[in-house]
Structure 1
Amino acid sequence: MPELPEVEVVRRGLAPRTVGRTVAEVELLDARIIRRQAGGADRLRAALAGTTLTALVRRGKFLWWRLADPDGADTGEALMGHLGMSGQLRVRASGEAPALAPAPASAGPASDPLRHRRLSLHLDDGTRIDLIDQRLFGGLWTSELVDAADGRTAALGSPDALLPAEAAHIGRDLLDPALDLPAAARALRARRAGIKSLLLNQQLVSGIGNIYADEALWAARVRYDTPGEVLSQRKALQLLREARTVMERALEVGGTSFDALYVNVDGRSGYFARSLSAYGREGEPCPRCGTPLRRVVSMNRSSHFCPRCQRRRTPAVAPSPVR
């Protein structure tokens, strides 16, 4: 599943080719891709026809375009997108034939740009934005704009504090300049759940998925099942900073591609899989101490860790009162 770095790669690829352009036509090939759209296809077409895309914004794994009417006034809605497990947003210039993405060495079947194309936005300069989704967990839909609860700029790429109502419950992410990092660390420490499940909780800090959670935990020497309440503020801050660092490094090389389901807007794969320290490396020596890395499955999710560098910590048990 694309995580924050992969979605940010897509945003950076789409922004210069879509912002300032007008939607000329919405071509819907599979109505399942707009299942979240209130009012269905007719409502989506009515909301987008003739509107101009004025900004492309990302919070966590959610993307949205701000919309303006033909007179330049904000419509009060955004066009939201989520890539789900296998979604791709691919750009095609006018007359350009779709190309099958080259697959990484470990890849499974790639999405077919013809068979798995579910929706296309045709822009006024002839550019076409294709939403390709093999597994159909992603989608596009419109959402009313509301004020961010903290009154700060809504997200990366946003011109103001407005964000789609359906993204209002999503926490800020680690690349968001408006994130209050100490407050995010305190939120992790206020929970008894295992720290990995807290990192994956999109309402606390958004954008982190399985890959970057494992990498951040390895870098901070914290085991996946350590209760959040056990961490000191200093350790929680270190963990979040490690997560931000690893995602910034992934951004530099286009994200992580373990299969051909994630590609950028030009159909190219990212190369951060070559730089991973823990995720997907079960049985290999820990880059730090040489101990074989382990993989465990908990709640249908794999966690990769070093049993020596990342030891479990539990809350201290208060002594029983003397009777």
Structure 2
Amino acid sequence: MPELPEVESVRAGLARHVVGRTVAGVEVLDARPLRRQVGGAQAFTRELEGRAITAAVRRGKFLWLALDDGRALSAHLGMSGQLLVRGTSAGPGSDAPDDRSASGPVADGESFLGDPAAARVDLTATRAPSLVRDLSAHPRHLRVRLHLSARPGDPGTGAALDLVDQRMLGGLHVVDLAPTADGAPGGQGSQAPLLPADATHIARDLLDPFLDRGAAVARMRASRRGVKTLLMDQGIVSGVGNIYADEGLWRARLHGLRPGRALGPRVALGLLEATAQVMEQALAVGGTSFDALYVDAEGAAGFFARQLQAYGRAGQECRRCGAVMRGEIIAGRSHAFCPRCQTRPRGGTSVQVASRRSGR
């Protein structure tokens, strides 16, 4: 599932391409992604047509488009949801997309993530970036299309925002906005102290300047749960999923089963800072894409997969000390860790996962 860097990449693209436009029409090709919409597809269409999009906002993994009537179009990407713009030019003053590849492209014959024994898989995430501006007019798994007002510079083919979702786990719905509990801006992309009424339980994320890190540390240290579970608790800090939890724990040299109450305040704060640093690095290259399902709003893949230090690397050498990385299951989620750098606490309960040393 997309995590903070991936959703922020989508949000930034929406801010460039759709903010300031009006929804001229709505096509619902499949109503299932509107399952959370009160009144169904008809209400969804009625509440969106004629509305201007005033901001693209994100808190953690939660994304919404603010509307000029004081409500919002809430979007959840799920496992395979994509919000793709077509027929648009970037807004006035917006920056052109950068080449986000930190290094040269990986040859097609190389295996994914550098594992020579890995099966052939989609290499989207390791190829040089490219913007997919000539997307098919009717892509597979197109569920909802919003026709948008034109503006100077558009190619003339008709501006639109598409929800494409293969697995049907994402969705859209129009929702009221509610005041933030602390009076600070609701999220990245808007100064308004508002967020969707069904997202008020979502904590601020690690890249939010208004996050009270001291309070987050206190909540972690008051818990007996494993620190990986705490890091992924969207009520403590939002935006962290399995990928960046593993990466942050590896960087902070902590095992995911270490109880929150066993952490000193400096260690807990260091973990939050380490995870934030990883996400900032991932965001700089568009996030992490393992296949063609995750792309940003312009159709470009993220390239952080080539920089992963822990996630998905069980059986491979630790890039810090050379020990063989291990894998196990914590609270139903995989956890990759270095047994030398991230000492496993005694008495921790998890499910061991068999892993092999890659290439041997």
| Shared fold per TM-score greater than 0.5 | yes
Aligned to 2:132: none
Aligned to 1:222: 254
**Matched residue SS, 2:175:** strand
Q: Does 1:20 find its partner at 2:20?
A: yes
| Per-residue deviation, residues 240-264 of structure 1 (Å, max 9, x unmatched) | 0011000000011111011111011
Q: Which runs of 4+ in 1 moved over 4 A?
A: none
Q: Does 1:305 find its partner at 2:320?
A: no
Q: Is the 8 A contact 2:326 2:337 kept in 1?
A: yes
* Alignment RMSD (CA, Å): 2.1
Q: Does 1:152 find its partner at 2:184?
A: yes
CA drift of 1:313 comes to 3.5
CA drift of 1:88 comes to 0.7
CA drift of 1:278 comes to 0.7
Q: 1:183 aligns with which of 206, 215, 218?
A: 215
Aligned to 2:78: 84
Q: Is the 8 A contact 2:229 2:331 kept in 1?
A: no
CA distance in 2, matches of 1:16, 1:269: 17
Q: 1:262 aligns with which of 291, 294, 304?
A: 294
Q: Is the 8 A contact 2:5 2:282 kept in 1?
A: yes
CA drift of 1:114 comes to 2.0
Residue type at the aligned position of 1:86: S
**Matched residue SS, 1:185:** helix
Q: 1:207 aligns with which of 239, 243, 258?
A: 239
Q: Does 1:107 find its partner at 2:122?
A: yes
Aligned to 1:66: 66
Residue type at the aligned position of 1:261: L
Q: Is the 8 A contact 1:122 1:129 kept in 2?
A: yes
CA distance in 2, matches of 1:107, 1:256: 13
CA distance in 1, matches of 2:8, 2:63: 9
Residue type at the aligned position of 2:74: M
CA distance in 2, matches of 1:298, 1:313: 13
Aligned to 2:144: 119
| Per-residue deviation, residues 2-46 of structure 1 (Å, max 9, x unmatched) | 110000000111111111100001111111111011111111112
Aligned to 1:137: 169
Query: Where do 5+ consecutive residues of structure 1 fail to align?
Result: 69-74, 95-102, 316-323
**Matched residue SS, 2:298:** coil
CA distance in 2, matches of 1:14, 1:227: 39
Aligned to 2:127: none
Q: How many equivalent pairs are there?
A: 301
**Matched residue SS, 2:290:** coil
Q: Is the 8 A contact 1:175 1:244 kept in 2?
A: yes
Q: Is the 8 A contact 1:172 1:205 kept in 2?
A: yes
CA distance in 2, matches of 1:33, 1:108: 28
CA distance in 2, matches of 1:198, 1:297: 15
What pairs up with 1:288-299 in 2 under 5 angstroms? 288-299=320-331
Query: Where do 5+ consecutive residues of structure 2 fail to align?
Result: 89-107, 113-120, 125-135, 151-157, 348-360
CA distance in 2, matches of 1:80, 1:224: 32
Residue type at the aligned position of 2:274: E
